Structures are given as structure tokens and as C-alpha cells.
Structure 1
Amino acid sequence: MLRRTLARLLLAAPALPLLGCNMYTSSCGPAGEGTGEPSKVNQTFRIADLQLADGGTPEPGASCEQLCVLAAPQDNPPGPCSLQSGDGGTPETVTCTVTFLCEGRRPEGLLSDGSVDGRVSALGALFASMAHLEAASVPAFERLARELEAHGAPARLVRAARRAAADEVRHAQAMGTLAERHGAPVPTVEVEPFQPRALERLALENAVEGCVRETFGALLAGWQARCAGDSEVRQSLARIAPDELRHAELSWEIDAWALSRLDEAARRRIQEARREALRTLQREVEESVEQEEFVRLAGLPSREQARKLVQGLAEWVITAEA
């Protein structure tokens, strides 16, 4: 059912890199109790290129905070910023803290946020964040395999989790290659030492990071594989997308197995956590920022397209829970 649903949602993706493909942003920062902080990077904008909502230009003397609201409106309030002046002493560029987000399974206790130090291109920062999240998924799946085995899960689920960890190693390498191609180093993954968890806590994390985040990540990978204007991006995601679909299916299989072993109160808590994760995803879509580079090269969906993808996923989740 999941495979058919995702295939139906992806029918809206253009088969070639058209302007219908755009940028979507979502969270790929540290994970705590089912929440994360986005990755951030400094990006510099020419003040002359910034426009007000009415098409006008910023007033002379505008602060860097005011300019960053125009340049990167997803930050409210904007993060740290600075102005750079030209030879005449008049500010010509503004450097803003820009948020880049992506989707996937974040391990509990993830300390690193995927941010890149120094000035790098927007695409470099995006691919570095994606590589960081793929690399963080490796210990997430390794831990999941150990915990499933400890809780007496079927051997096929344990094997699938170990296979997913190996998949994520390849995904991290592929995204790291793209990041380095755009001049961005891949941040080191830092995770707190894992502690044994009760089955409900494992199931709660799986509901948020697997059933919601990773399932939507499979949708994004499939979309990019069709829409990316950069052939290397398109080819990389075409190899990654089938793996991510298997990981999403694994998340739902683990969910069904875990729920069968938990009491009704625990099942309700997990269901509510999953629905809250969907609501968070919907809010992130509304706060997303669009940039032309992502339109042509990264192949991510527009805000409106992402809104429809999340809505389609939410409707399927509600049906699956019934």
C-alpha cells in the first residue's frame, strides 16, 4: 500500500528538469525527543538584488537583520548577520544565517547539526547537510538492529535494519561527493553514547523518524531523481531512492510489530507522536524558502508541490492507522 501511494504522489513530478521542480526544506538537525534543529550556514547576498514585497528596493541604511528578512525569510527572527562595504564605504553585500533542511532518520542523541563553517555555495551547504544526515542514519540503523534483536523482533527485521545501515554508508558517500564538488566539507557526525531503551521508546522514535521523516524522505528522493537539472544529482538520487523506499517500508513493518506488543495506552501515545510529526512537517513546508539554484539543479519540489506531498502522506497515514 505504501509503495503504491508514494508512486501515485510521484506521478505529479515532471519527468525532466522543468521549472515545476523547486525547493522544499525540512529538518535535518539534531534529534532529541522526536524533534530537531535545522542546519545553518552563512550565505552572502548582493543588496542590489534584494526586493521588497511591492517590487521596490531596500532603504539606504537598512540593517543586516532587515535585509536578511528579505534574503532568507524563513528565519524569524533572522539569525546572526553582517554587512560588507565596497570601496566607497557603502554596504554592498549582506551575509545571513540561512537554514537548510532535509529528511531522513535521525538518531536520538544526535549532537552535530550538519552546519558548514565558512563561505560555501548554497548547493554545497545543502548537499553537506544531506551527507551529514545520511551518515547519521548509519548509527541510527545499527542501534535499531541491536535493539530489535534484544526485544525479540523477527530476524528478517533485524537483517533489514543492518542492510539499511550499509545502504546509508553509500548514500553518505554519494552526497559527500556532491558536497565536495560544490566546495563544501561534510560535517562530522557526533552522537551521544546509546543507552538501552524500552520497546515503547524505540517505537516512538521509529514512528517519528521512520514512519514520517524517512517516508517523506523517500518521496523527496524519488522527486529529485526525476526533477534535478544536474545529471549527477539525478543519477545519485536515482540510486538512493529505491533504498529509501525500502527503509520507509521497514519503518512501517517495525511499527506494526512493536504496536502488537504494546498496550492500548502506549499505542495511543505513538499514534499521537506520529500525527504531531506530520503537523510539524506541514509547518516546515509553509516556512520553506525557495532559491533559483535549487529550482534548476537540486530538483526539490516547490512549496505548493511539497504541501500536496505532505497532505497525501498524511491522508495515507490516517488510513493506515484506522
Structure 2
Amino acid sequence: MSRRRQLRRTLSRLLLLAPVTTLGAGCDYTGCDGKNTHQETFVIADLRSSDGGTPPAGASCEELCATVGGSAPCSLVRSDGGVTADQVKCEVSYLCEGRRPEGLCSDGAVAGQVPMLGALFAKMAHLEAASVPAFERLAEELAAHGAPHRLVRAARRAAREEVRHARAMQSLAARHGAPMPEVSVAPFTARSLEALALENAVEGCVRETFGALLAGWQARRAGDVAVREALATIAPDELRHAELSWAIHAWALDRLAPEARARVEEAQREAWLALERESAESRLPEHVAREAGLPAPDVALQLVRELARSLAAGGTARA
């Protein structure tokens, strides 16, 4: 079976799980400071414990944040200037995927207090926008290393598509009160074929492939119809980008020395494990995840593991 057919079959099978109730997950980032969190304020009276009751009087901010999937650092807030705290500020984390360029130094965070859903879409817009220079550079490097013209053309097409994706996510962010974050990428320098292959194995074969699955999931599960419509358009493009990543992977590995090939394959295995950890640790309040259509952490972890297992099993598949 070809890699393309295997990838499409795997994603189609995993998307059948989409009716599972969604509870968490969001947008990952690894840049100059490694942050992938957002501070959100919650009204204490609206919080509910796991049994459906209200948190006990005198609960700490850590206990209150746990009811919404948040964590420390946290703080209690007196919004009306009274003596009793009526709000709690918690830190929540995101998980969303896509191809990140080497040298990405912006984290997609928005300044000031914005709704969490807006902050989530702003991070997604930032990641889509960062994918534009990533694919532009990839096209240039593929051409420089003598890759087939079809791969170069596909990378250039992907860059154009990411412009459209960024605009769609920017529109969703603005709809929920968040501005478009600035994208900052350090100047590119020439790289070896091994360096190209290593980045592609991690950012393309792992993170972009999972990103394609997430896009399809959101297109089916988002409570916000605007999100479903936007992701329904984006998901097919992201699937093609994942297919491109695996085609580049096969082409590059055939041209690397055995030692370099082993390093690339090991980096890819480590990337799957890192994605497992991020999926399991990601948390978002239920209403945010529901509107965005993102899977619960345990479901996201299941998806990552099954995706990795299925694609590893087809390691000898043709591109």
C-alpha cells in the first residue's frame, strides 16, 4: 500500500471516533521561550467540582483551577474590591499542531485580557502564519538539494494555502475578541539534507500529520458553526501537507547515509513521544474545547498513539 493511501485510510478511521465527547486540548508551541499557556479568569460561583457540586468555601486557587482543567500559577481576585474573592485566575495550556519553522521566536500570545477562545484561535492563526515561511524555505531547500519538481511545487502550493488558513484563523480570533499575534522568525541559513530531513520528520511527518487529524476532528465536532466551516475548508489542505511531508521523508531517507538516516528516524520517534506527553498534559475548560471542537486529553493521547502505531507499521510503504 502506498504511504498516501495508508495515511488517508488511517485518518479516515480515526475520525470515526469524532462523536466522542470533547473536553480539552488546544495549541502547542515551541519557540524562543517555550510557552504554551494562557491566563484565564473564572467566576468562582460558576465553577463545578467533578461531582457537579460547588467548590467548598475557602478552597485554594489551585483547587478552584483544577475544576476547569487549569493549574498554577494562579491567584484569587476580588473584582468588586470587596473582602471576598469572587474570581480565580488560572493557567491553561494548549495543544494544536502544524509545521513550525526553525527560528520561530514568537509564541502567538496576545497582550491583555482576551477571551480564552479568542486566545486559542489567535495561537492557531499564529501557527498557520508561521507555516508560510516554513514551506517557502522548504521549497527553496528542496530545489537546492535536487528534489523532484513535484515536491518543490507542492511545497510552494502549501505556502500559499497557509496564507489562506492564517486569514481564516485570524477571522475566528477577531470574532472572539483577540488580535492577530505578530510572527517573528529568525533569518534562514542554508542547511544540509540531513537537517532538512530531520526537521521534516518532526514538524511534517509528526506534528503536521497530527494537525491534519485535528483539523478534520474540529470540522466535525466544533460547537461553533463558523469553526466547522473554516476547518472543513482547511482540513483537506492539511491532509495534502501531511502527504507531502511523508513523500519528502521517503525521498530524503533514500539519499542519506545509514548513520544520518538513523538519526532522522530516532528524532521522529522522539517527536511522537513528545506529542504524547503534550496531548496528555493539555487542558482547556469544557466550553472552550466544545466550541473549538478539540478532543479531550485522553482522546488526543489515544489519537496520537494510534496514528504513530499505524504509520510506523507502514514504515516500508511507498511514498
- Normalising to structure 2: TM-score of the pair? 0.90
Which residue type is aligned with residue 212 of structure 1?
A: V
Partner of 1:240: 234
Partner of 1:12: 17
Which residue type is aligned with residue 39 of structure 2?
A: N
Secondary structure of the 1:60 match is coil
Partner of 1:160: 154
On the 8 A contact 1:38/1:100 being kept in 2, the answer is no
Which residue type is aligned with residue 15 of structure 2?
A: L
1:196 is displaced (CA, Å) by 0.6
Partner of 2:41: 44
Partner of 2:291: 297
- CA RMSD in angstroms comes to 2.1
Which residue, 139, 142, 145 being the options, matches 1:148? 142
1:315 is displaced (CA, Å) by 0.8
Find out whether 1:309 has 2:289 as its counterpart. Answer: no
On the 8 A contact 1:81/1:94 being kept in 2, the answer is yes
Find out whether 1:57 has 2:55 as its counterpart. Answer: yes
Partner of 2:259: 265
Partner of 1:225: 219
Question: Matched residues in 2 for 1:309 and 1:276: separation?
Answer: 17
Gaps of 5+ in 2: 1-5
Secondary structure of the 2:86 match is strand
Which residue, 258, 269, 277 being the options, matches 1:275? 269
Which residue, 57, 73, 86 being the options, matches 1:92? 86
Question: Matched residues in 1 for 2:79 and 2:162: separation?
Answer: 44
Aligned runs of 1:191-230 on 2, under 5 Å?
191-230=185-224
On the 8 A contact 1:131/1:173 being kept in 2, the answer is yes
On the 8 A contact 2:98/2:204 being kept in 1, the answer is yes
Find out whether 1:189 has 2:183 as its counterpart. Answer: yes
Cα gap change, 1:71 to 1:226, in 2 (>3 Å) = closer
On the 8 A contact 1:128/1:176 being kept in 2, the answer is yes
1:39 is displaced (CA, Å) by 3.1
1:271 is displaced (CA, Å) by 0.9
On the 8 A contact 2:15/2:217 being kept in 1, the answer is yes
Taking every aligned residue pair, what percent have the same amino acid on both sides?
59
Find out whether 1:2 has 2:7 as its counterpart. Answer: yes
How many equivalent pairs are there? Answer: 310
Question: Matched residues in 1 for 2:141 and 2:301: separation?
Answer: 34
1:310 is displaced (CA, Å) by 1.0
On the 8 A contact 1:100/1:125 being kept in 2, the answer is no
Question: Matched residues in 1 for 2:148 and 2:293: separation?
Answer: 38
Gaps of 5+ in 1: none
1:233 is displaced (CA, Å) by 0.6
Choose 309-318 or 178-187, whichever is displaced more.
Answer: 309-318
On the 8 A contact 2:36/2:94 being kept in 1, the answer is yes
Cα gap change, 1:22 to 1:98, in 2 (>3 Å) = closer
Which residue, 247, 256, 262 being the options, matches 1:253? 247
On the 8 A contact 1:101/1:126 being kept in 2, the answer is no
Choose 98-107 or 232-241, whichever is displaced more.
Answer: 98-107
